[in-house]
A and B are shown apart, each in its own frame.
Chain A
Amino acid sequence: MIRGKKSLIGSKTYRREKKAVKFDFLLFLLVVAISSFGLLIIYSATKETLPGGASDPQYYIKRQAIYLAVGIVLFTVIQFINYRKIKRYWWLALVTGIALLASVHFFGYEVHGSKSWIDLKFTTLQPSEFSKIFMVVCLAAIMSKWRTEKECRMTFKKVILSFVIAFSFITLVLLQPDYGTALIYFIVYMGLLFLSGANFLYFLSILGLTIGGIFTALNAGFIRQYQLDRILVLLKPESYTSEGAGYNLYRSKMAIGSGGILGKGLFLGKQTNLSYVPEHHTDFIFSVVGEELGFIGAVCIIIVLGIIVWRCFYIASNSSDRFAMLLAYGVGLIILSQVTINIGMTIGIMPIIGIPLPFLSAGGSNLISMLMGVGLVENVYLWREVRREYDIAFQRYK
């Protein structure tokens, strides 16, 4: 019976019979729209400055278009797998995620002092981007209803297990070392812990433990001066205008500020097109948006990103089970934390940490992993209506 049902999933017959199956077009369209718009911004940012020694002005937009296509394919593929199955194989996600992060220590190469990249010859891969999703899957599975439970509760056991899993991921990222991405992992974990309904006591003790750990690391000298500077620059921006992290911020603020209300027009940004803003096609892509599209354009982008996050959260709160909820929340938290910190750093209210802006920054790992993440959220939405039948069938199967 299960097999019979399953064969119908995704088929036209099935959909016709079960009108309840829905697809959140808003989320899908917004994600595709903002990613496509990202292509234009990337083109604008790279057409003249040709970072990385590229010779073709369209090099980056072409690559990004391919990534977008791959991402959409993966997005689609994910829709065919019921997320409940994903929950069952969560350990696979754990193994893959950990293996990916560990692999950079064997096959990785360094960029800006962090060994976070693997060269696959035809393209490069940033495992920490994908592992985010894997961690979210693992955590969602751990924090949701266990088979042994009658009712889902955030027990001490679950908290400890989630802590171990999350900090395995985080530690591996820290070892690269990539503090920025590790911070995102941490925020996502804390967010999930909070949203899973865990007791505040657990929540606060983990937070306290972490802060204590950071201070220990500071005292022990594990954190380098330039990383400290990135935070200090926020406190005293005027004394850091000519070099290092301050230069990035100074130039980025200048680029965005000079955009004014209406911006200088798409493709017409001076500061960004002259590579005055370092990393303006990747981490600082928002400065291009701010300069070329002005306040109006930047606010539009922020609102679109906000709606995407809201859709994730909305789908989470309307999901049919705890795993689905946490999965959608997790993806939403990844997007929200990256958007906040990335945009925040370009406008001088967040420390300069090297993380990409979801959907917009140039780079395949970021775009594809984000599309996969949103794919999972969409999956949650798509499959929520079959819950009852599935549960019944599952019970019988058991």
Chain B
Amino acid sequence: MGLNIKVRYKIIIYLLVLILIMLILRLYFLQVMSGELYAELASESITREKTVAAPRGNIYDRNGKLLVKSVPARAVAVQPGIVLENDKVMEILSDCLDMPYREIKEKVEKSNVSYMDRIILKQDIDYASMIYIEENSDELPGVEVIDVYLREYKYDSLASHLLGYIGEISEEKLKAEEYDYNYEGGDQIGWSGLEETYESVLRGKKGKIVYEVDPLERPVGVVNEIEPIGGNNLYLTIDIDLQKVVEEALYRAILEVRQKKIKDTDEYYNVRGGAVVVLSPGDGQIMAMAGYPSYDPELFAGGISEDDWNNLNDPENNYPFLNRAITSFPAGSVFKIVTAYAGLNEEIISDSSRFSCAGVWYGLGKDFPKYCWLKSGHGSLNIVGAIKNSCDIYFYQVGYGLFKKLDNTGELLQKYARIFGFGSRTGVDLTGEEEGLVPDTEWKEEYFAGQPENSVWFPGDTVNMAIGQGDLMVTPLQMAQAYSIIAEHGIKYTPHLVKEIRDSEETLFTDNTVEEYQDLQLNGNYIGKIEEGLLQVVEPGGTAYGVFMDFPLDEIPVAAKTGTAEFYGRQDYAWFASYAPAGNPEYVIVAMLEEAGSGGSNVAPIAEDIYRYLFNVD
């Protein structure tokens, strides 16, 4: 064979070895050096994740009655970017979901931003539509049927302002910091009320299914499944039966007052709305909170229709979304308790000092007469009588005294207003609570900047404020808190709506029943004097006597104050603030009607109705 052949044999053997080494080295690189990287890539490339909605927590009232429940439903979700490119998909969906093509297109177009990977097109679809969509998934790219939880309201629209409503997360919210954890397009979030405040508590924890797909994206097996954890349940301080009574009383009163004409005119009261707060003064628990007009939160289950939404936002309908209990209004005479306490504590008056009321007062000068609401005057009054009769002139003088003391450098009336909680949020667990306004020098300067003649604080400002007029704005809830401070002789609680939070297994983990309080260190004697006056308001000669004539005041002493606040360009705002039984207070009731005239005659009946219910009086 020759040497030549032998050499060539060697060459081919070397080549063989070289090839083997090359293959093995390459495999070493792929499998040993980059094995982990490839393993990660490989598993990523074939696994998909799907989130599983968690049922939102339920809401119960203080007695464990179920108010709001989560019910599973199916929704059609679409990926806007994909669907928008495909008219056919939108046409099919339009037929299948019985939605106009234009509506679908608008909705999808509006959400076609990189941030929203998924939006819900329609909630609560029927079984047939679901089957249709799932069976035709090949023709419907970017469309999926997802599980969602909708809200079911056991008591219809009762307490709707408190409970709030839920809806699909918006782009803005999705971008916001508090929603950056585990939220995705199509999620249902609380949009108002307790649903919003307690969003993080109620929402639960989403589950996750990690599954593998084949090259055609068909699922072939589940790798990992994390069960969703249901949200926590809220137990409210609200008594739903009481809430019903309160809402009915409010509604009835509004209808009645709307039948009345303003004295000496042909004009009927508008009564655009009203609010009632029933507070437990001993612990700050809100037992009922009603506002009129309200709305049916059921409208939001399954996505609110555009018509409904526009209707609810139409000014003609007096803003049903507004929770009037935490919205500020002109206060009126119910504020006089603050002036009374300020006067007594600053020794402008003593418990026996008397002022005389002749219907008009010239304390601010001859050119600035100030009138009492009773043109004929109240004669000589001490503090108790002034409260009983709600004498304006008495309180003008107290206010003027407070102004003059220290040349108003202490802004004494404002100081006491703030002590009683006005001008700042009570801290109730609701979103959208207003601060109200305690006007002062600084505010005036800012508000009337550029109008030098108006931007200084006049003595008349303090005088007006002393009877709850002027720029003072308060919320019914603030007023309820102020009266509970009087009722509890200086103990201030934060009003709240949630008593307990329990997890989905009913294990208690937040107990709000033991509430922290703040002792304002008020003078008991002065409070006693004020209470004495408040008790006489419902007695013969008092401003609310007519309403409480038949009420068993001997057994259940009611301390109350009426108020009628003037507001430029509007009819008077009517107030009634009260608590009972005095001495051992169980309930504070504050009611307010917008544009309803006198608090004594038009609002007091609401509170009286509620007391009758609470104390089982026929």
Binary A-proximity of B90-102 (CB < 8 A = 1, otherwise 0) = 0000000000000
Q: When the two chains form their complex, are residues A294 and B31 in contact, meaning their CB atoms are under 8 A apart?
A: yes
Given A306-B20, A316-B9, verify A299-B27 contact (CB < 8 Å): yes
Binds A, one of B32-40, B146-154, B565-573: B32-40
Q: When the two chains form their complex, are residues A254 and B41 in contact, meaning their CB atoms are under 8 A apart?
A: yes
A329: which B residues are within 8 A, CB to CB?
12
Contact of B9 among A195, A271, A298 (CB under 8 A): A195
A interface: dominant SS = helix
Binds B, one of A34-42, A97-105, A336-344: A336-344
Contact of A275 among B13, B27, B214 (CB under 8 A): B214
Q: When the two chains form their complex, are residues A310 and B1 in contact, meaning their CB atoms are under 8 A apart?
A: no
Binds A, one of B42-50, B314-322, B434-442: B42-50
At the interface, yes or no: B617 with Cβ under 8 Å from chain A?
A: no
Given A254-B45, A261-B32, A336-B19, verify A274-B27 contact (CB < 8 Å): no
Contact of B8 among A194, A256, A339 (CB under 8 A): A194
A322: which B residues are within 8 A, CB to CB?
1
Min CB gap B611→A, angstroms: 72
How big is the A interface, by class?
A: 35 or more
B interface: dominant SS = helix
Q: When the two chains form their complex, are residues A347 and B1 in contact, meaning their CB atoms are under 8 A apart?
A: no
At the interface, yes or no: B549 with Cβ under 8 Å from chain A?
A: no
In the bound complex, what is the Cα–Cα distance between A392 and B34 (angstroms)?
A: 61
Scan residues 14-31 of chain B and give those whose CB is less than 8 A from a CB of chain A: 16-17, 19-20, 22-24, 26-28, 30-31
In the bound complex, what is the Cα–Cα distance between A371 and B358 (angstroms)?
A: 128
Scan residues 102-139 of chain B and give those whose CB is less than 8 A from a CB of chain A: none
In the bound complex, what is the Cα–Cα distance between A289 and B74 (angstroms)?
A: 44
Q: When the two chains form their complex, are residues A260 and B32 in contact, meaning their CB atoms are under 8 A apart?
A: yes
In the bound complex, what is the Cα–Cα distance between A180 and B268 (angstroms)?
A: 98
Q: When the two chains form their complex, are residues A347 and B8 in contact, meaning their CB atoms are under 8 A apart?
A: no
In the bound complex, what is the Cα–Cα distance between A295 and B35 (angstroms)?
A: 9
In the bound complex, what is the Cα–Cα distance between A398 and B568 (angstroms)?
A: 138
Q: When the two chains form their complex, are residues A347 and B26 in contact, meaning their CB atoms are under 8 A apart?
A: yes
At the interface, yes or no: B71 with Cβ under 8 Å from chain A?
A: no
At the interface, yes or no: B212 with Cβ under 8 Å from chain A?
A: yes
Q: When the two chains form their complex, are residues B43 and A195 in contact, meaning their CB atoms are under 8 A apart?
A: no
Given A256-B30, A344-B23, verify A274-B220 contact (CB < 8 Å): yes
Q: When the two chains form their complex, are residues B34 and A257 in contact, meaning their CB atoms are under 8 A apart?
A: yes
Given A257-B37, A303-B20, A309-B16, verify A274-B8 contact (CB < 8 Å): no
Q: When the two chains form their complex, are residues B32 and A274 in contact, meaning their CB atoms are under 8 A apart?
A: no
At the interface, yes or no: A78 with Cβ under 8 Å from chain B?
A: no
At the interface, yes or no: B176 with Cβ under 8 Å from chain A?
A: no
B365: which A residues are within 8 A, CB to CB?
none
Binary B-proximity of A275-315 (CB < 8 A = 1, otherwise 0) = 11000000000000010001100110011001001100100
Q: When the two chains form their complex, are residues A274 and B20 in contact, meaning their CB atoms are under 8 A apart?
A: no
Question: In chain B, what residue has the closest Cβ to A298?
Answer: B27
B38: which A residues are within 8 A, CB to CB?
253-254, 256-258
Given A254-B45, A325-B1, verify A259-B16 contact (CB < 8 Å): no
How big is the B interface, by class?
A: 35 or more
Q: When the two chains form their complex, are residues A274 and B46 in contact, meaning their CB atoms are under 8 A apart?
A: yes
In the bound complex, what is the Cα–Cα distance between A299 and B28 (angstroms)?
A: 9
At the interface, yes or no: B4 with Cβ under 8 Å from chain A?
A: yes
In the bound complex, what is the Cα–Cα distance between A255 and B6 (angstroms)?
A: 41
Contact of B212 among A274, A290, A343 (CB under 8 A): A274
Question: In chain B, what residue has the closest Cβ to A333?
Answer: B12
Contact of A258 among B22, B24, B42 (CB under 8 A): B42
B36: which A residues are within 8 A, CB to CB?
260
Q: When the two chains form their complex, are residues A260 and B35 in contact, meaning their CB atoms are under 8 A apart?
A: yes
Given A276-B46, A316-B9, verify A347-B215 contact (CB < 8 Å): no
Min CB gap B10→A, angstroms: 9
Min CB gap B146→A, angstroms: 25
In the bound complex, what is the Cα–Cα distance between A195 and B7 (angstroms)?
A: 9
A258: which B residues are within 8 A, CB to CB?
35, 38-39, 41-43
Question: In chain B, what residue has the closest Cβ to A276?
Answer: B215
Contact of A302 among B24, B37, B220 (CB under 8 A): B24
B6: which A residues are within 8 A, CB to CB?
317
Question: In chain A, what residue has the closest Cβ to B24?
Answer: A299
Given A254-B45, A258-B43, verify A197-B5 contact (CB < 8 Å): yes
Min CB gap B268→A, angstroms: 74
B450: which A residues are within 8 A, CB to CB?
none
Q: When the two chains form their complex, are residues A257 and B31 in contact, meaning their CB atoms are under 8 A apart?
A: yes
Q: When the two chains form their complex, are residues A270 and B27 in contact, meaning their CB atoms are under 8 A apart?
A: no
Question: In chain B, what residue has the closest Cβ to A322?
Answer: B1
At the interface, yes or no: B369 with Cβ under 8 Å from chain A?
A: no
Binary B-proximity of A224-257 (CB < 8 A = 1, otherwise 0) = 0000000000000000000000000000011111
Min CB gap B24→A, angstroms: 6
B212: which A residues are within 8 A, CB to CB?
270, 274
In the bound complex, what is the Cα–Cα distance between A125 and B1 (angstroms)?
A: 38
Given A257-B35, A260-B32, verify A302-B45 contact (CB < 8 Å): no
Q: Which 6 pairs of residues, A with B, have the shortest CB-CB distance?
A: A257-B38, A260-B35, A258-B42, A295-B31, A258-B39, A257-B30
Beyond contacts A195-B8, A274-B213, A313-B12: 11 other A-B pairs, Cβ-Cβ < 8 A, are A197-B2, A254-B42, A257-B41, A261-B32, A274-B46, A290-B30, A302-B27, A306-B17, A309-B16, A316-B9, A347-B30
Q: Which residues of B contact A (CB under 8 A)?
A: 1-2, 4-6, 8-9, 12-13, 16-17, 19-20, 22-24, 26-28, 30-32, 34-39, 41-43, 45-46, 212-215, 220
Give me 6 A-to-B residue pairs in the complex whose CB atoms sit less than 8 angstroms apart, sorted by A's number. A257-B39, A270-B212, A271-B46, A274-B215, A275-B215, A313-B12
